Amino acid sequence: MKHPSTISIEDFNYHLPDQRIAKYPLAERDQSKLLVYQSGQIGQHIYKNLAEQLNQDCLLIFNNTKVVEARLHFQKETGGTIEIFCLEPDDQYEDITSAMLQQGKVYWKCLIGGAKKWKDGIIRCETKNNGSNIIIEAKKIKQINDAFVIELSWSDISICFAEILHLAGSIPLPPYLNRKTEASDKERYQTIYAKHDGSVAAPTAGLHFTDHVFKELIRKNIEPAYVTLHVGAGTFKPVKSATMKDHEMHAEFIDVNKTTIQHIIDKLENGIIAVGTTSLRTIESLYWLGVKTYLNKHLSMNEFTVLQWEPYEINADHISAEMALDALLNWMDSNNLQKIITKTQIIIAPGYEFKIMKGLITNFHQPQSTLLLLVAAIIGDEWKRVYQYALDNDFRFLSYGDGSLIWTND
């Protein structure tokens, strides 16, 4: 597998006019345009008719993470406002779910708007629950790179942190929308199948799916399966280094049960389509976790993760997807696990060889982003033609925009 560390990010630039960025979603989710790329051909459709573009009996993989209201606004005693953006739990928690269920107090990694104005001390904000006032307090614990570990505590110890965010927080829209969150975003910046609290950004490819689309898929015997990858703010992290070897990929929690892994094995021959880059990163990470358990049946929990460059450095040419996933299930059995919860740092860029995915449904991504590198990993330099077609044909870009169905060139 070719190592992508020498890739120059400048080669993945294109001009994206601001007016092409969708600031708001369409009124009807499934009326968004769908660009279809297959074997060098580009076609134009809409999401409502997605089932017509897919093979019967294939399997669609969805990310059922739920966006949390991760932005909290606190008041200083002097009257100034401090925004705390809750990124992910402190390392003391095993996973996001257990951290979200903490009652009374929690430690969270956060970005702070106006950090220089908050030297020390406790800042507070107030919210209500069933008519009762709740006081929320924040205290700096330590700085880690450009973020801080914050101790967040609240006066009603009977409710958990997830409920505190629902009561007091606001949805963190992507910065490139360059507007404040509005009431409608609470529903529209969320997939209709969102289930597990934990993301600070939506898996936006799924925003186009409606009950009608799901009914049409089922009519064609196209099944859905669900994985969970909690999207971190790193998804918006720009690549600032000239080459990829100096870019650190963000690590994100994934959560997948045995039933889903077996479902993927059963459907490998029919075709696995990832709905969104997060679903794609999850299922390809499953392969590499399986490879590690295939090569080491006694793999420890500390080693059970996917590091950024591992897929390019492990020799796995002799290990098929079915072999890897079977090994993963056997390892889970030997460790009495019904599901896996771990972190993946996988970076998918040109040079990557896909092991499980045959097609990707995804939106149009920012220039010079790791998400654009992922698209280029599937179709090579053809990404330039695809994106130029989208620009020339009035497709709407980024989170609230239109999308594409991209097939591998197998």
Query: How much is the pLDDT for 410?
Result: 67
Query: How much is the pLDDT for 235?
Result: 67
What is the share, in percent, of the chain residues with pLDDT greater than 90? 85
Structural domain boundaries in the chain? 4-66+189-407, 70-169
| DSSP per position, 333-387 | HHTT-SEEEEEE-----TT---SSEEEEEEE---TT-HHHHHHHHHHTTHHHHHH
**pLDDT digits 0-9 by tens, 124-165:** 999 999 889 999 999 999 998 878 999 999 999 999 999 999
* Distance between CA atoms of residues 375 and 50, nearest Å: 19
The yes-or-no verdict on residue 88 having pLDDT over 80 is yes
On the CB side of 246, CA atoms within 13 Å amount to: 7
Q: Map tokens 């200083």 to a residue.
A: 76
Of 277, 262, 146, 285, the C-alpha closest to 206 is 277
Q: What is the mean pLDDT of the chain?
A: 94
What amino acid is encoded at 210 in this protein?
T
**pLDDT digits 0-9 by tens, 204-256:** 999 999 999 999 999 999 999 999 999 987 766 678 888 898 888 888 999 99
Of 160, 281, 158, 167, the C-alpha closest to 230 is 281
**pLDDT digits 0-9 by tens, 263-274:** 999 999 999 999
Range scoring the smallest mean pLDDT among 67-76, 253-262, 391-400: 67-76
Band (115; pLDDT cuts 50, 70, 90): low
**pLDDT digits 0-9 by tens, 306-343:** 999 999 999 999 999 999 999 999 999 999 999 999 99
Q: Map tokens 């896996």 to a residue.
A: 340
- Please compute the mean of the pLDDT values over residues 99-107 and round it to a whole number: 96
**What residues contact residue 220 under an 8 Å CB cut-off, 6+ apart?**
51, 54, 56
Q: Map tokens 């030997």 to a residue.
A: 334
Query: Who has greater pLDDT, 410 or 242?
Result: 242
CATH 3.40.1780.10 corresponds to the domain 4-66+189-407: yes
